[in-house]
Structure 1
C-alpha cells in the first residue's frame, strides 16, 4: 500500500472514530435543581463540564447540554451534592459536534458555609463570587480554575496539570500543592502556609503570612510584596525569587537551583548564618561557613549546594 492510500485509510479511521464519538455519548439535555431548607455544605465532583458559581437570591443549579444520565443534583440534609461523570471521548464530541456542557450554581449572597469540597477534573471551574467557609478544599486536575474572594479557616488545594488562579484568599491555615500546572495567587493573607511545588510554576502577587514553608522540585516560585515571619524555603533544581520583607527566622536551602532574595531594610538589621559556596549578600561573598557574632531579630540562614543564593537588602 503506497503512502497516499495509507494516509487515506488513517483519515477515514479518524473520521469514523469522531462520528462514533459524536453518537456514543447519548442524548443531550438541560436540567435544573432547587434545594430546599438551609444549605451549609457544598460537595462538587466535576468531570469535563464547564462549571461556574455565581451569586443570587437563592440556591439554584442549572445544567445545559448535559449528557443524559451522566450527572446528579441531590440534597442530603444540609449538603448540596453535584456530580458529573467524565467520558473519555466526550471532549471530541463537544469540540466538533456540540456546544459544551455547562453547569451554573447560584448561591445566596453573604452566606458562610461549614465546608466547600470541590474535585474538578478536565472541565473549567470559575467561582468569582466570594466563597466563605470554615473549610475549603479543592482538587484540580487538567481543567483551568479561577477563584476570587475566598475566606476560610482552612484552605486545602491540590493542583494537577491545569492552570489555577486565586485572586484573593484570606485563611488561617493554607496547605497547597502544585504538580505540573501553573498556580497564580493574588493577595493572600494567612497565619500559616505550607506550599509544595513539583515541576509547575507558583506566583504570588502579595503574601502576608506567618510560619511560611515552600518546598520546590524542578519548577519555579516567584513572589512579590511579601511580609512574612519565619519563612522556610528549599529547592531542588528549580529557582526561587522573592521580594519584600522577612522578619523572624528565615531559612533558605538550594540544591542545584538558584535562590534570589530582594529584601526591604538594612543589612545591619540581619544576622547571617551561611553554609556553602556561591552565596552572596549585597554583592559580598562569604566563607563557606560563616555566622554573625550577634543574633538579631531578623535572621537569615542560607545553605547552598551547587546552586547560587543571591541576597540584596536595601
Structure 2
C-alpha cells in the first residue's frame, strides 16, 4: 500500500473514532442540578464518589449541592445523624464529552463541627477538601482519582490508596494506618502517636513528622521524609529506596533488600549504639564490617541489616 492509501485509511479511522466519541457524549442522558439540606444534628458523613469533581468546603451550615449530574446518578440522604452522599453508578461507564460542563458535588460543613466518623470512598474523580476534617475516626479510600485534603484532626486516621494520588497538608491524630498501591501519598506536617505504612510500587513523601512509633514497609516504591522527630522507627524495603532526614531518639531498625536506605540524622555519632548485619553498611563513611555490635548500649540505637542494597548513615 502506498503512502496515500495509508494516510486515507488512517484518516477514516480517526473520523470514525471522533464520531463514536461525539455520539457517546450526546447519549449520556438528562443532566440535572440537585440540592439537599439535612436537618438536626449531623455526627457522621459517608461519601461514595464515582467520577465527578467533589469538594468539601466550610460554611455556616450543612448543605449539599450537585451540578450538571447525570439524572439519578447520585443520592443525597440523611439517616439519623448521618449525612450520606453516594453514587448510584456501581460499574465503570465510559463517558466523554466535548461540550458539557463537568459534573460537580459540593458539601458545605460548619466550621465548629466535630464528627464521630468521616468515611470517604473516592473512585476516579478529583476530590478536594478545603477545610479541616475533625473526627474521632476518619477513613479515606482513593481509587484512581486524586484527593487533596487541607487538614485532618482525628483520633484514628486510616487511608487506602490504589493508583491515584493522595495529599494531606496537615495531620494531627493518635494513630495513622495507611496502605498504598501504585499511586502516591504526600503528607505535609504530621503529628501522631503511631504511624504504620504499607507501600507497594508507589511513592510516599512526608515533609515533617513527629511520632512516638513509626513502621514503614516498602516494596518497589520510594520513601522520602524530612524534618522527622521519631522515637522508635522500623523500616523495611524490598527493591525501593528510603531517604530520611531528622532525629531518631529511641530504638530503630532498618532492613533493606535490593534497595538502598539513606539516613541523615541529627546529633552526635557517640550518642548512638549500633547492631550491624550485612555488607555495604556505612556510618559517617566508615565500614564496620559485616557483623558489628557496639560495646555499650545507648538510649539511641540503630539496628541495620542489608541484603544486596546499601545502607548509608550520616550523623552530625
Fold shared per TM-score above 0.5: yes
Match of 2:314 in 1: 312
Candidates 18, 26, 29, aligned match of 1:26 = 29
TM-score where L is the length of structure 2: 0.96
Candidates 99, 102, 109, aligned match of 2:101 = 99
Q: Deviations over 1:291-310 (max 9, x none)?
A: 01111100000000000000
2: distance between equivalents of 1:243 and 1:15? 51
2: distance between equivalents of 1:8 and 1:220? 43
1: distance between equivalents of 2:20 and 2:83? 37
- 3-state SS in 1 of match to 2:252: strand
Q: Does 1:65 align with 2:68?
A: yes
> How far has the Cα of 1:97 moved from its partner?
2.1
Match of 2:154 in 1: 152
Taking the TM superposition and a 5 Å limit, the aligned residue runs for 1:116-265 are: 116-265=118-267
Q: Does 1:83 align with 2:86?
A: yes
- 3-state SS in 1 of match to 2:132: coil
Candidates 15, 18, 21, aligned match of 1:15 = 18
1: distance between equivalents of 2:70 and 2:52? 10
> How far has the Cα of 1:112 moved from its partner?
0.6
Identify unmatched segments of 5+ residues in structure 2: none
Q: Deviations over 1:182-233 (max 9, x none)?
A: 2110000101110011111111100001121000111110000000011000
Q: Deviations over 1:251-281 (max 9, x none)?
A: 0000010000000111111000000000000
2: distance between equivalents of 1:156 and 1:36? 28
Quick check: 1:142–1:160 contact (8 Å CA) kept in 2?
yes
> How far has the Cα of 1:8 moved from its partner?
3.0
> How far has the Cα of 1:13 moved from its partner?
2.2
Match of 2:304 in 1: 302
Match of 1:271 in 2: 273
Candidates 287, 290, 293, aligned match of 2:289 = 287
Q: Deviations over 1:162-188 (max 9, x none)?
A: 221100001111000121112110000
2: distance between equivalents of 1:224 and 1:137? 25
Q: Does 1:74 align with 2:77?
A: yes
TM-score where L is the length of structure 1: 0.97
Quick check: 1:208–1:227 contact (8 Å CA) kept in 2?
yes
> How far has the Cα of 1:85 moved from its partner?
4.3
Match of 2:59 in 1: 56
Give RMSD over aligned pairs. 1.1
2: distance between equivalents of 1:157 and 1:50? 20
Identify unmatched segments of 5+ residues in structure 1: none
2: distance between equivalents of 1:269 and 1:124? 47
- 3-state SS in 1 of match to 2:131: coil
Quick check: 2:75–2:88 contact (8 Å CA) kept in 1?
no
- The alignment covers a number of residue pairs equal to 311
